[in-house]
Structure 1
Amino acid sequence: MTAEQQTAEQPVASLRDLALEEAALDLLAARVAAAKKNVRTRMQRALDDAATRDGVERIAATLPGGEQVATISLRKGETGPVVTDEEALARWLRQTWPDQEWTETRIVRTVKPWRLAELIAEMQAAGAARIADRTTGEVHDVPGVVIKPTRARTHALTWRTGGKDATAEAWRTGALARQFAAITAGGGQ
């Protein structure tokens, strides 16, 4: 079917109808984005509390009729070495292994990116801001590096087969009116 045949068979929306549809969808998208950000924050806090209190790491998303449509699972954050003072780290490397070419001198001594990646990986494996000298076996505390969270703990939503369709139908029929009341309520934006 050609584009001309499709146009002939489908009613053409007026420019005013298209303008209203775009404006309404823009408002809806903004409200949905704000509501999603808010619920993700509240869900993360609730999951963190439940994990600490009861060991809960996942929860089913269930429609009012009892059909499970999705699962929300806690994702653990990560902790690892983070360079907090690259200049102190570069000075220490130069003093500790002066014959190695791990640093380069500019106005400020910096660690070469390839070597820094190796050092970070070594500290990540050790779980501490320490590295071992491969020649002597001596273990060094590394200045300018701390072990701290590198990725926040979060959660993920996994849809069950048919879950999106069931949720859309529940939305269409009004079964989720309470959950969507804030999005459709009046107010600024």
Structure 2
Amino acid sequence: MSAEPTIEQPVESLRDLALEEAALDLLAARVAAARKDVRARTQQALDAAAARDGVERIAAILPSGEQVATISLRRGETGPVVVDEEALARWLRQTWPDQEWTETRVVRTVKPWRLAELVAEMTAAGAPKVADKVTGEVHDVPGIVWKPTRARTHALTWRKGGKDATANAWRSGALAGQFAAITAGGAP
């Protein structure tokens, strides 16, 4: 029996792997910083364009003219936010003493399920006010302010084939200007 010669596979150098990992770590940090910066600048520009011209979306178009993605403005939301639960609990107890809005502990708190109902009612009303279902009297609710609950933002939606087209444009150098800051010297 003759033994067949074994073909050795080249083993990756540990030093090569260490360098690749270090380089990718640096690239990831720079990409993350660049992405955060461009998202902030895009949001600012979209907000200005929406206020000025009503623009709510913009196409991402390669230098070749191919549209690869769409960036759309997402509206923020505002709603009731409890800022002083103790004041709210006192008011609820005084306004509707026979209802089970609150429970007594060392500190009076609002029952979470009742608070959810109250917040839903204020959200539907569009203000930190509630109407008494029996008397119809409208109450300003203490301990609640109306403020943003979710920031206005934007979303990127890729078109079919857009990622591949963008990757090809990157490899060909067509996006060199967009990526120059990432590969330039200096801290990420």
TM-score category of the 2 structures, normalised to the smaller one: over 0.9
Structure 2 Cα separation of the partners of residues 140 and 146 of structure 1: 14
Residue 9 of structure 1 and its aligned partner are, at CA, apart by 8.3
Corresponding residue of 2:20: 21
- How many residue pairs get aligned? The number is 182
Pair 1:70–1:9, CA change in 2 (3 A): farther
Matches within 5 A, 1:3-152: 11-152=10-151
Does residue 1:167 correspond to 2:166, yes or no?
yes
Q: Secondary structure at the match of 1:158?
A: strand
Q: Secondary structure at the match of 1:134?
A: coil
Residue 109 of structure 1 and its aligned partner are, at CA, apart by 1.1
Deviation >2 Å, runs of 4+:
8-12
Which residue identity lines up with residue 115 of structure 2 in the other structure? Answer: L
Structure 1 Cα separation of the partners of residues 173 and 117 of structure 2: 56
Residue 107 of structure 1 and its aligned partner are, at CA, apart by 2.3
Q: Secondary structure at the match of 2:12?
A: coil
Structure 1 Cα separation of the partners of residues 80 and 178 of structure 2: 41
1:141-160 CA distance string (max 9 Å, x none): 11111111111100000000
Residue 11 of structure 1 and its aligned partner are, at CA, apart by 3.8
Structure 2 Cα separation of the partners of residues 168 and 22 of structure 1: 21
TM-score normalised to structure 1 length: 0.93
The alignment-based identity, stated in percent, is 84
Which residue identity lines up with residue 120 of structure 2 in the other structure? Answer: A
Structure 2 Cα separation of the partners of residues 171 and 20 of structure 1: 23
Q: Which runs of 5+ in 1 are unaligned?
A: 1-7
